[in-house]
Amino acid sequence: MTAMTLNLPSGRDYRPGSVRRFVLNVINGFREGREVSYRYEQLAHKSDAELAALNIRREDLPRIALSGRR
């Protein structure tokens, strides 16, 4: 998994729109997580023979799901 940090908007450096940006970043993070999960599930349900035909090893599935590449 990749490391992720959240920069929470503080009251000291409040700029209009920063809370909106924060909320959009959280929403985009959830969307990206769902896409990674979907890619992993699609590949994980394949048999070893099907994965071999795609030139993929089962241990490479997490990396491929995160990167979005085969």
For CA atoms 42, 34, 60, 54, give the dihedral sign. Answer: positive
The residue whose two tokens read 């959240």 is 6
Q: Kindly state the tokens that stand for 62.
A: 């997490």
Q: Which two tokens stand for residue 14?
A: 């409040």
pLDDT 10s digits, 10-68: 555 656 678 889 999 999 999 999 999 999 999 999 999 999 999 999 999 999 999 98
H runs (alpha helix) in 1-70: 18-44, 48-53, 61-67
Q: Is the pTM of this model over 0.85?
A: no
The domain ranges of the chain are 19-67
CA dihedral 41, 59, 53, 39 (to 10 degrees): 20
Tokens for 42, please give them. Answer: 């699609």
The whole-number pLDDT of residue 40 equals 95
